[in-house]
Structure 1
């Protein structure tokens, strides 16, 4: 794995002024994945947007970790349903366009 893809937990905590225990709790609730390399903890850079969203839920909206877990699961289900709707619309449009053949 390219080290450019990894961001240290310490760096995230310093940048966002949050405790490392919050990041550990996010991993406990399986909301993010932590990679351990050379006895240091890292997250993949593509998870930063998710972490930012979870920080806002917890610190700005005062939602506890159980609530964040539930919200994240529901948002993932909504996203999956939207993807399925788009796929079905594309299929429907394909059949409508080829109806005259």
Structure 2
């Protein structure tokens, strides 16, 4: 490989896996492509976690209103302190 860092990384991976550098690089590319094409959305992740526990989303559920995040932020940090745990989600 022409780039020293790429060469070093490929050699380390090949050594760890006990394969040739070519096979290590091909395997790494396959893993990366699989991971990037099979990413879950947050909703899919939540659904998967709920299903593992025998639960599911309510059919008539509605999105959480933005004010709920503001209230939760203040409940977690203490209203009197006026701190914001999630300043980007403060809607007031």
Give me the TM-score of the superposition, normalised by structure 1.
0.32
* RCO comparison, higher one (Cα < 8 Å, 6+): 1
Between structure 1 and structure 2, the one with the greater Rg is 2
Q: Give 1 or 2: higher strand fraction.
A: 1
